[in-house]
Amino acid sequence: MDMDKLVSLCKRRGFIFPSSEIYGGINGFWDYGPLGVELKRNIKDAWWHDNVHMRDDMVGLDCSIIMHPRVWEASGHVGGFSDPMVDCKDCKGRFRADQVAVVCLHAGQDFADSKREQRFWFSALGDSQQAVAEANGKDYKKAEAKLATHPNGSAARTFYPISASLGQPEYADFPCPTCKKQGTLTEPRAFNLMFESHAGAIADEANKVYLRPETAQGIFANYKNVVDTGRVKTPFGIAQVGKSFRNEINPRNFTFRSREFEQMEIEFFCHPSEAAQWYKYWRDTRFQWYVDHGLRSDKLRLRDHDPDELAFYSKATADIEYSFPFGISELEGIAHRGDYDLSQHQKFSGKDLSYFDEERKERYVPHVIEPSAGADRATLAFLCEAYVEDEVGGEARTVLKFHPRFAPIKAAVFPLVKKDGMPELAEKIYRDLKRQFNVFYDEKGAIGRRYRRQDEAGTPFCLTVDGQSLTDGTITIRDRDTCRQWRIASSGAVQALRDLLEGQPIPSGE
C-alpha cells in the first residue's frame, strides 16, 4: 500500500488533517477530523474497556499534563531524555545522529573505504540478521545490497551507529543529508526532548515546568493515593490514556512520529517473585489484542530486546512492531521495569512507597510491568491494515476494512430514491439506530456512489429502503467487505445491526 494514497484519503475524507493547515501547517502536529476522531476514540475506548472495565485488577486514572518538575528529575527525563543530534555547520540543518549514518547508507556511501573502523548494528528484525552480519563485517556495500532486496527495504533506515564502547562513527566523514557537503557535520550533542514552559507570571528557571513526555509518571506519582484509597491489592494495575509531548527532532511518517500524541499506558504492580510471569502475560495479551482487532499476523511482530538493548533497570522488554509501508516500527513496548520507578520516586519525594501485602504479611516495593501503547500509532496501523483497493462489478473502489468495533460509522441508512415515502421510512430507521450507534443518513446521489462513499469511510453496513420496503416492511442490508446484500425486517434493524457488529456471520448466498 502506498502511504501517499492513505494520507490523501485521510485528508479527503476527514480522518486526519495537518494541524493549523490554513497557516501552512506545523511540523509534527496533526488534527483528527470528523471520521478520524471517531476512529481514534473507538480504539481508545476499546483499549479502556478491555483493560479496565473487563478486569477486576485494574483501575483508571487521569493526571495533569504539567506536573511538579521533580517528577521528571526522578524519572530520569531531565537528565537523560535526549537524542544525540548533529548539526550541519554549513546549511544549519539538524539531524538525529543515527539517521545521518542511515542516509549515507542509502546514498551508497562506501563505508568499507572509510579510514575509520565503524561498526553498525541493525536494530530491526531477525530476518535481516544477515545484513547485520555483513555490516558488522564492514562490507557495507553487500549489506546495503541485501537490504535493497529485502521486502522491507526501507528498514535500512534503522541502521544505527553503535554505542561508544564499540566505536562511534566520526560524523565529519558523513555528508550532510540535506546539502550533501562533506566535513560540515558536528559531533553528536544531546538534545532534550521535553517541551518546556513556565507556570506563573515570571518566565525564570524557578518557574520552569515541562509538558509530560509520557503518561506513565503520573501513575507512579499517584500510586500511593490509589493504594491508600483502598480499592486495590497486588497484583493490580493503573491505566491512563492521555496526551504526551516530545519535541522530536525529526517528526515523520505521517502521525507515526509526532510532537504531540496520545498514549495508552498501564503500570501493573506485583510481588517481585511474580513479575516475570506477569511480564510474559502482558507481552502476550497485548500482542493478541492487535491480532484480535484485525492486524494480520504476518505484519505484526513481537520482538524481544537483546540484553544489550535493555535500559539498565529493565529486566526484559518487548516491542510490538507493525510492518508499515515506511518500514517495521514500534506500536507498543512492554517492559519489566523492576522496582526502578517507585524506588526513584521514593528517593526524590522522601515518601514511603512500599506496600504491605496483607496476604503474604510482607512489606515490599512492588515490581512493575509497563505495557505502553500509542493511540496515534495504533490508529495509523489500523488505517494501513484496513486500506484496500479492489473491484466490485467491474468498478474500482477504495475500502477501509476496519474491525466493526473501530469503524467510525457503524451503518448508513439510505432511501433508494428521494420519493414515494422512502425517505420517511429510512429516516425513522435512522432515528431508531442513532440511539444506539453512530449512524449516517444520506439521500443524495446515485445509490452506487453512496455505497462507495461509505466503503471509503469504512462503514461496515448500509441499510437501504426500496420499493419493496413500502409493501412488505423489509429493507436491504449490504456488507462492506463482500458487497453481499440480503433483506431484513425494518422493524428488526437495531437488533440485526447489533448482531452483525458483534460478529454474527453474514448470510451466505442470495
- Interface positions with ligand ATP (CB under 6 A): 214, 246, 248, 257-258, 261, 263, 330-333, 372-374, 376-377
Nearer to ligand ATP, 94 or 271 (CB): 94
Asked if 140 contacts 131 with a C-beta cutoff of 8 angstroms, the reply is no
Least CB distance to ligand ATP at residue 332 (A): 5
Nearer to ligand ATP, 76 or 443 (CB): 76
Nearer to ligand ATP, 144 or 248 (CB): 248
Nearer to ligand ATP, 263 or 323 (CB): 263
Q: SS3 for 430-486, per residue?
A: HHHHHCCCCEEECCCCCHHHHHHHHHHHCCCEEEEECHHHHHHCEEEEEECCCCCEE
Q: Residue 58: helix, strand or coil by DSSP?
A: strand
Least CB distance to ligand ATP at residue 85 (A): 14
Least CB distance to ligand ATP at residue 459 (A): 27
Least CB distance to ligand ATP at residue 283 (A): 13
Nearer to ligand ATP, 99 or 459 (CB): 99
Least CB distance to ligand ATP at residue 26 (A): 14
Please report, in angstroms and rounded to a whole number, the separation of the first and last CA atoms in the chain: 32
Alpha carbon of residue 475 to chain centroid? 39
Least CB distance to ligand ATP at residue 408 (A): 20
Q: SS3 for 136-178, per residue?
A: HCCCHHHHHHHHHHCCCHHHHHHEEECCHHHCCCCHHHCECCC
Q: How far apart are CA 196 and CA 210, in angstroms?
A: 5
Q: Residue 410: helix, strand or coil by DSSP?
A: coil
Nearer to ligand ATP, 381 or 409 (CB): 381
Q: How far apart are CA 70 and CA 63, in angstroms?
A: 16
Nearer to ligand ATP, 146 or 259 (CB): 259
256: closest CA among 322, 161, 345? 322
Neighbours of 317 (CB within 10 A): 20
Nearer to ligand ATP, 30 or 440 (CB): 30
Alpha carbon of residue 387 to chain centroid? 17
Judge residue 80's burial from the number of C-beta atoms within 10 Å of its C-beta, 0-12 exposed, 13-18 middle, 19 or more buried.
Answer: exposed
Asked if 212 contacts 241 with a C-beta cutoff of 8 angstroms, the reply is no
Nearer to ligand ATP, 251 or 408 (CB): 251
Cβ-Cβ contacts under 8 Å for 222 (sequence gap 6 or more): 61, 63, 238
Q: Which residues pair with 397 in a beta bridge?
A: 390
Cβ-Cβ contacts under 8 Å for 459 (sequence gap 6 or more): 407, 408, 409, 410, 411, 412, 440, 480
State the residue number with the nearest CB to ligand ATP: 374
Nearer to ligand ATP, 109 or 258 (CB): 258
Least CB distance to ligand ATP at residue 16 (A): 13
Nearer to ligand ATP, 305 or 498 (CB): 305
Least CB distance to ligand ATP at residue 258 (A): 4
Question: Which three three-digit cell numbers place residue 383?
Answer: 488505517
Nearer to ligand ATP, 196 or 390 (CB): 196
Torsion of CA 21, 26, 28, 30, to 10 degrees: -30
Q: SS3 for 252-270, per residue?
A: ECCCCECCEEEEEEEEEEE
Least CB distance to ligand ATP at residue 331 (A): 6
Least CB distance to ligand ATP at residue 223 (A): 19
Question: Which three three-digit cell numbers place residue 426?
Answer: 429510512
Least CB distance to ligand ATP at residue 1 (A): 20
Nearer to ligand ATP, 345 or 377 (CB): 377
**Residue 244, φ and ψ in degrees, nearest 5:** -135, 160
Q: Is the peptide bond before 175 cis (omega within 30 degrees of 0)?
A: no
Report which DSSP code applies to 193.
-
Least CB distance to ligand ATP at residue 243 (A): 11
Least CB distance to ligand ATP at residue 75 (A): 11
